[in-house]
Structure 1
Amino acid sequence: MHSCDYGRRSTGYVRKSFSFSAHQFDLGTFVGLWHSHDDNHFLLKIYRMDDKEYSDYYNYHLNYALENNLVSEEDFFRHVWQIVQTRIKHFEIQDPFSRNHAMHRQQLEKLQRFQKYLTSIDEWNARPCHIVIAEKDELIHSLKQEIEKLTTKLAELNEYEVSLKILIDDGHLQTFIDIVQQLREVQLPSGRKLLKSDHKIPYAKMIAKYFSHGGKDIPIETARNYFVDKKGDVTIKGTSIQPEHRLFKVIPIVPAKKPQVQVRTYRGDQTGHQK
């Protein structure tokens, strides 16, 4: 039998009979969550348990009450909250110079952590109105600050946003993209590439954002089709530049240095072996 077996009476719910249960969340001689010293038995368990057990502990007693039609979920929450809040207030007014001060402080911290758990499951805003209102006001204030930050950031971004795009002459989108593709391969005199990017999508984004073709925006997917992987000289699942649109060739004035190949010679000894 569940150690919190409640029986209906006009004054609340009490335990029907005494029993010993092996379940870790049973409260032993607990006489009912609405009677006598029920708060002491309920809270003593909290003082000894880890924070990760709060949910299981709360739901263990909640489920029993619901299964036996003893109380609604909201009323159960309100009652547990009141038990915890009352004991927190009790500890807060205790003499800090009492010999039990250390124990009171530890128990207070435990209750505050359990109350934080209760706050996280309060879907009815069932806690005292002043607490709920204070939390809502704090949330509103925080959201307003976040909105102000985002508004400022958006204004900064819009300041550099493109209002007028560079117009590519009608019919020569592929010609321009061919030039960009060539620029990707241009090497400096040192032999290093002028432009470096681990991905090809930045080029497509640049074209779509800053250029227009024939008076119309260039869809990002259209530009992206020209910057896909290649197998040899053949574009894989992309759009190839047609020969008639290859009108320019990017040639460096100062060619890149070719890597020098060092040739090491070996001098043979008198026996014909190399050294």
Structure 2
Amino acid sequence: MRHKERYTSSHALNFQNKFHLSRFGEYLQSIDEWNLGRSPAEIIAEKEGQIKILKEQLQRLMDDRREAEKLETDYPINIASGYVLTVVDLFKKIETLKVGDKELVFSQMPITWAKMICRYFQEDGEPIKLDRVRRYYPRDPSKPSGGSSAIPSENQHFNIVPAKRRAS
């Protein structure tokens, strides 16, 4: 661009035009799908950087997957036929246990218990459906919704009581 006199009356208009042209150039670069405004070396360098980042991300994900697979099992715990709700009742009772004034176990979301039961337990060799267990774990136990239920009394076979302290 040739040199423009800065003290003329059209200087403000020239400055504004330069600004609009530079913004338009930035816009064109942002939609340049075919990389027409860049050299092959720039394109290759950018792509190599992206490949490096993706390889590092892939390695992290593969490491995370290996760690997660260590916890997986092909042998879930089998519950006798008809006693799934008894096991659910036991977990509900475990949720309420306290050691001193602290909760023994705590889950931010109650559905975690239902997912754990469905993932690691089976009933008579068959998977347990999440929808069957979910209704016993309402989102807010203090305000159960219409879709939630209490464990029927005929499935409440056990009580968990604290052990008596033994003299040392």
Q: TM-score surpassing 0.5?
A: yes
Residues 193 and 147 from structure 1, CA distance in 2 versus in 1: closer, same or farther, beyond 3 angstroms? closer
Which residue is equivalent to 2:57?
146
Which residue is equivalent to 2:118?
208
Q: Match of 1:167, SS?
A: strand
2:40 matches 1:124 = no
2:158 matches 1:193 = no
Residue in structure 2 matching 1:25, options 1, 8, 16: 16
Q: Match of 2:103, SS?
A: coil
Task: Give how far 1:196 is off.
Answer: 2.6
CA distance in 2, matches of 1:254, 1:24: 87
Instruction: Report the TM-score, using the length of structure 2 for normalisation.
Output: 0.74
Residue in structure 2 matching 1:179, options 72, 81, 90: 90
Q: Match of 1:177, SS?
A: helix
- Indicate the percent of aligned positions where both proteins have the same amino acid: 28
Residue in structure 2 matching 1:245, options 136, 155, 167: 155
On the 8 A contact 1:200/1:227 being kept in 2, the answer is yes
Residues 23 and 226 from structure 1, CA distance in 2 versus in 1: closer, same or farther, beyond 3 angstroms? farther
CA distance in 2, matches of 1:178, 1:25: 74
On the 8 A contact 1:208/1:219 being kept in 2, the answer is yes
Instruction: Report the TM-score, using the length of structure 1 for normalisation.
Output: 0.48
Q: Match of 1:171, SS?
A: coil
Residues 187 and 136 from structure 1, CA distance in 2 versus in 1: closer, same or farther, beyond 3 angstroms? closer
The answer for unaligned runs of 5 or more in structure 1 is 1-18, 28-44, 46-53, 60-76, 78-113, 256-275
CA distance in 1, matches of 2:90, 2:146: 20
Residue in structure 1 matching 2:79, options 159, 168, 177: 168
1:53-79 CA-to-partner distances (Å, cap 9, x unmatched) read x8x8422xxxxxxxxxxxxxxxxx6xx
The answer for unaligned runs of 5 or more in structure 2 is 1-8
Q: How many residues align structurally?
A: 154
| 1:226 maps to amino acid | Y
Task: Give how far 1:24 is off.
Answer: 5.0
User: Quick one: higher RCO (CA 8 Å, sep 6+), 1 or 2?
Assistant: 2
| 2:103 maps to amino acid | K
1:1-275 aligned at under 5 Å gives the runs: 20=10, 22=13, 25-27=16-18, 57-59=22-24, 120-126=30-36, 127-188=38-99, 190-228=100-138, 229-230=140-141, 236-254=146-164
Q: Match of 1:142, SS?
A: helix
1:153-189 CA-to-partner distances (Å, cap 9, x unmatched) read 211211211221111111111011011111111233x
1:80-109 CA-to-partner distances (Å, cap 9, x unmatched) read xxxxxxxxxxxxxxxxxxxxxxxxxxxxxx
